[in-house]
Chains A and B, each alone.
Chain A
Amino acid sequence: MPSRTPLLMLCALAISASAAPPADLLQGWRTEARAQTPEFTDFSAGRGKVLYTTKPSDWSCSTCHTVDPRNTGRHAVTSKVIKPLSPLANPARFSDPEKTEKWFRRNCRDVLDRECTAAEKGDLLTWILGAGQAVTP
């Protein structure tokens, strides 16, 4: 009788293909940040918090996502309700790498007028994943 193992493996692969944990994103950005900046060591939740709340233009991340990414937010112009940014409150967040990179591209351009670096993305996600916990500056 032919082995059923390959078919069972295909089933598991199909299920896992569409989602990736935030840790995978962080690992990818870590590698990229080390290549871009030799002095980079690792991500910092403290830097992430500063990035999240600083308002270099009319907006900061917190303008739409509120000061706590676990909260439901609201679009600053359209008033559309925005589901929580944090995976702690909304498990779907940061599970789709393509979607994550798209929104970072758009929203970093909105806030910073440029794209975020890999280090900045990692800092932000590190802080978001730990929101509510004490952050060492």
Chain B
Amino acid sequence: MNRPGRNGTARRWIACSALVAVGVWAISPAIASDEQTWREECGGCHVAYPARLLPKTAWDEIMRTLPDHYGTDASVDEPTATAIRRYLDSSVRHRTRPRPNPPELRITKSRWFVDEHDDVPRARWRSEAVGSPANCAACHPGAEQGRFNEDSVKLP
């Protein structure tokens, strides 16, 4: 039996459901996960350096001094800071051996970083393609995803 009325109603409900789905997607940043918040805020001016690269004491100090973050203002509102701290605390490596006090706040000055990159000529850091040791993505294509495997290094 031909029921054009019911087919039209079904199409309208499907269309509206699609619109609602798009709307939910559009407002999804309002309910971002802690990791998404960390990645957006801490990846705005540089690679979002993985939490494992510094001890908790260093991250605590960095979060405390965001208005003067290595010479620039990286301040966030309190809910955002809380979300970032939650993510860092859940991702940082907890080590039992004593850490330096005060902690080294620059990843690029930490002993492991210097040792790992001791074969990189100083001039390479200042080259146009790299700029500074903070620019991980210049040589580590997977830096934005937290991948720094030596096998995947591509020197510019």
Given contacts A106-B73, A110-B73, contact A80 B135 (CB under 8 A): yes
Task: Answer yes or no: A11 CB below 8 A from chain B CBs.
Answer: yes
Flag if A78 contacts B75 (CB, 8 Å).
no
Residue contact B75 to A77, C-beta cutoff 8 Å: no
Are the CB atoms of A79 and B45 closer together than 8 Å?
Answer: no
Chain A residues with CB under 8 Å of B16's CB are 4, 7-8, 11
Contact of B72 among A4, A7, A74, A77 (CB under 8 A): A77
Do the beta carbons of A18 and B45 come within 8 Å of each other? no
| B 106-154 contacts with A by CB, 8 A | 130-132, 134-135, 137-138
Contact of B19 (CB < 8 Å), options: A11, A18, A78: A11
Interface size on B, residues (CB 8 A): 30
Q: How far is the CA of A136 from the CA of B70 in the complex (A)?
A: 38
Q: Specify which chain B residues have a CB less than 8 angstroms from the CB of A18 in the assembled complex.
A: 26-27, 29-30
Q: Does A34 contact B (CB under 8 A)?
A: no
CB within 8 Å of B: which A1-38 residues: 4, 7-8, 10-15, 17-19
Q: How many angstroms from the CA of A12 to the CA of B131 in the assembled complex?
A: 46
Contact with B along A58-89 (1 / 0, CB 8 A): 00000000000000001101111000000000
Q: Tell me which residues across on chain A come within 8 A of B46, comparing CB atoms.
A: 75, 78, 80
CA distance A13 to B27 in the complex (A): 10
A8, A17, A106 — which one has the most chain B CB atoms within 10 A of its CB? A106
Residues of A within 8 A of B47 (CB): 80
- How far is it, in angstroms, between the C-alpha of A59 and the C-alpha of B138 when the chains are bound? 23
Question: Which chain B residues in 5-25 approach chain A with CB under 8 Å?
Answer: 12, 16, 19-20, 22-24
- Quick one: given A79-B131, A80-B135, are A15 and B73 in contact (CB under 8 Å)? no
Is A14 a contact of B75 with CB atoms below 8 Å? no
A residues in contact with B137, CB < 8 Å:
80
Q: Is the CB of A14 within 8 A of B76?
A: no
- Residues of A near B134 (CB, < 8 A) are 77-79
For residues 92 through 129 of chain A, which have their beta carbon under 8 Å from a beta carbon of chain B? 102, 105-107, 109-110
Q: Residues 51-66 of chain B: 1 if any A CB is under 8 Å from the residue's CB, otherwise 0?
A: 0000000000000000
CB distance from A115 to the nearest CB of B (A): 10
Residues in B with CB closer than 8 Å to A79 are 130-132, 134-135, 138
B132 touches A14 (CB 8 A): no
CB pair B132–A78 under 8 Å, yes or no, is yes
When chains A and B are docked, how far (Å) is the Cα of A131 from the Cα of B16? 39
Contact between B19 and A106, CB atoms less than 8 A apart: no
Closest 6 CB pairs of A and B: A14-B23, A79-B131, A11-B19, A78-B46, A79-B135, A106-B73
Chain A contacts to B: CB under 8 angstroms? 4, 7-8, 10-15, 17-19, 74-75, 77-80, 102, 105-107, 109-110
